[in-house]
Amino acid sequence: MVLLSLAWKSLRNRLLTTSLTVLSIGLSMALLLGVENVRVGARESFANTISQTDLIVGARGGSLQLLLYSVFRIGQATNNISYESYQHWKNHPAVAWTIPYSLGDSHRGFRVVGTTEDFYQHLRFRRDRKLEFAAGQSPKGVFDVVLGSDVAQTLNYKLGDQIVISHGVAAGRGIADNDHADKPFTVSGILKKTATPVDRSLYIQLEGITAVHIDWADGAPPMPGEEVPASKIAKENMKVEQITSFLLRCKTRIATLQLQREINTYKEEAMQAIIPGVTLQELWRTIGYAEDALQVVTIFVILVGLLGMLVSLYTSLNERRREMAILRAIGAGPGKIIALLVLESGLLAFAGCVVGVVMIYGLSFVFQPIVEQQFGLYVPVQPPTQAGWIYLGAVIFAGILIGFVPAWKAYRNTLADGLSIRV
């Protein structure tokens, strides 16, 4: 305890270098914890793009592909599933709700998703958040469209605007020939930002998808004279033949695996059901390299911070030879001299960690809303994660270890100096 108080007072005596050292360790620590938080945030945001969905069901194919087009609106389905099959599973006694998706059209690079009222009712993200409207309401008519918030923002649309959707999902503008220009849609609602892929799509009714394709045959636009004008289309007459995939919630979690097996072995149609969490994990592993790279950089930043501490402690030793000789004279052995310097270095690292934690708390608190708004990344304001604690412990440990370098030097000095006067 005597040594601890000595170490503390000695550091306090060199307030400027001490605070600069603590600050530099603190900054690098904040960076490390910040990166860790962003990592966790990214992973959580990613895992929480979809919640409360037990199964995603689509035509048989790659499970990653099914996840990508159903949740992230990336890539395309190779096959659709029939509406009858969908109805079959929708009415299955173990099923609580379903959300059907019909994909394949786009509007100026954004995907158009045909779905039903269930989408607005049941879709959950980030554990239990549901979709909310910034303006308007869910589509009531065949030619109503609801915009994700990014779509509305990017294209600067407002309620009542008329838009045309295009066949196919090619990036950028759809091919003019493929425009469903004869059947424009009216913006009936705009969703609030969710920071998930939901923001980057447009939503119409399943019947709307049928309607724009009613006069198409085999994926080609109608021949002249065969067009069916929008005015002749009524929702009741639009028969939905197929959908692309659907999300499914079981009444009990236990039923999930049983139902998955049932769907995968369904005789009527080749279908597959995936558990989103599992496939999300798989996906995360494949794109997780970036976070590793980021982490390596931060670890180097920490090393630089610790090196700064080493330099400042080491250079202070020359002006402290006197002090060491005094300590020796009043009965402090080399062990105590070493302990003193190791304690100082440990204290610096500890203080740096405290500063870092406080800093990152403050910064996350201030910047969390901005980051969420701008980058759609929800960074949790939370105590350090397990990895965070490990980093903190490791840095303090490294600080103590590094302390042995100046301590060894001081020890050599005291042996050489003895009680002689060297100022």
Partner 1 sequence: MSSPAVVLRDVRFRYRSGPEILDIPELTIARGERIFLFGPSGSGKTTLLGLLAGVLSGYSGSVEVLGQDMAKLKGSARDAFRGAHVGYIFQQFNLIPYLTVEENITLPGRLNPSRGKQSGDVTAVAKRLGIEHLLARGVTELSVGQQQRVAAARALLGAPELLIADEPTSSLDFDHRERFLDLLFENCALSNSTLLFVSHDRSLAGKFDRQLSLLDFNRAHRKEAVA
Measured from the CB of residue 342, what is the shortest distance to partner 1 in angstroms? 16
The burial class, CB within 10 Å (0-12 / 13-18 / 19+), for 76 is middle
Q: Is 323 in the site for partner 1 (CB under 8 A)?
A: yes
Contact between 275 and 260 (Cβ < 8 Å): yes
Taking the complex as a whole, how short is the minimal distance between the CB of residue 10 and partner 1, in angstroms? Answer: 5
Q: Is 383 in the site for partner 1 (CB under 8 A)?
A: no
Using CB under 8 A as the binding rule, whether residue 315 contacts partner 1 is answered as no
Say whether residue 111 binds partner 1 (CB under 8 A).
no
CB of residue 317 vs partner 1: minimum separation in angstroms?
15
Least Cβ distance, residue 39 to partner 1 (angstroms):
41
Q: With respect to partner 1, which residue has the nearer C-beta, 5 or 281?
A: 5
Chain residues 249-308 in contact with partner 1, contact rule CB under 8 A: none
Q: Which of the 8 DSSP states describes residue 51? A: B
In terms of CB distance, is 152 or 325 closer to partner 1? 325
Q: By C-beta, is 158 or 422 nearer to partner 1?
A: 422
The nearer residue to partner 1, 2 or 296, going by C-beta atoms, is: 2
Angstrom distances, CA of residue 17 to CA of 10, 26, 312? 11, 14, 7
Answer positive or negative: Cα dihedral of 230, 121, 147, 220. negative
Site for partner 1 contains 420 (CB under 8 A): yes
- 321 touches partner 1 (CB under 8 A): no
Q: Which is nearer to partner 1, 16 or 293 (CB)?
A: 16
| CB burial readout 97-112, b (16+ within 10 A) else e | bbbbbbbbbbbbbbbb
The minimum distance between CB 351 and partner 1, in angstroms, equals 17
Find out whether 114 and 205 touch, Cβ atoms under 8 Å: yes
- Rounded CA-CA distance 112/169 in Å is 9
Residues 330-349 that bind partner 1 (CB under 8 A): 330-336
In whole angstroms, the minimum distance from the beta carbon of 278 to partner 1 comes to: 60
Which span sits near partner 1 by CB under 8 A: 309-317, 318-326, 341-349, 381-389? 318-326
7-46 positions binding partner 1, by CB under 8 A:
9-10, 12-13
Quick one: which segment of 79-87, 95-103, 321-329, 353-361 binds partner 1 (CB under 8 A)?
A: 321-329
CA-based nearest residue to 152, from 134, 130, 170, 173: 134
Decide: helix, strand or coil at residue 55.
Answer: strand
Q: Counting contacts by CB under 8 A, is residue 176 touching partner 1?
A: no
Integer Cα distance of 214 and 228 in angstroms: 7
Pair of tokens at residue 264: 């995968």
CB of 294 to partner 1, least distance (A): 41
Q: Which is nearer to partner 1, 198 or 337 (CB)?
A: 337
The span from the CA of 395 to the CA of 140, in Å, is 59
Of 25-33, 182-190, 329-337, 364-372, the segment contacting partner 1 by CB under 8 A is 329-337
75, exposed or middle or buried, with CB in 10 Å at 0-12, 13-18, 19+?
A: middle
Stretch that binds partner 1, among 89-97, 221-229, 257-265, 320-328 (CB under 8 A): 320-328
Supply the DSSP string of 302-318, one letter for each residue: HHHHHHHHHHHHHHHHH
d(CA 347, CA 100): 59
Inter-axis angle of helices 289-319 and 334-375, to 10 degrees?
A: 140
Q: Tokens 């959950």 sit at which residue?
A: 124
DSSP 253: T
Two tokens at 8? 């503390």
Does residue 227 touch partner 1 according to CB under 8 A?
no
Number of residues that bind partner 1 (CB under 8 A): 25
CA distances from 403 to 27, 303, 309, 321, 341 (A): 20, 14, 9, 16, 6
Q: Which is nearer to partner 1, 335 or 380 (CB)?
A: 335
- Residue 12 corresponds to which amino acid? R
The answer to whether residue 325 forms part of the interface with partner 1 (CB under 8 A) is yes
Does 418 bind partner 1 (CB under 8 A)? Our answer is: yes
Pick the stretch among 79-87, 158-166, 192-200, 322-330 that binds partner 1 (CB under 8 A): 322-330
Q: Contact positions toward partner 1, by CB under 8 A? A: 2, 6, 9-10, 12-13, 322-323, 325-336, 418-421, 423
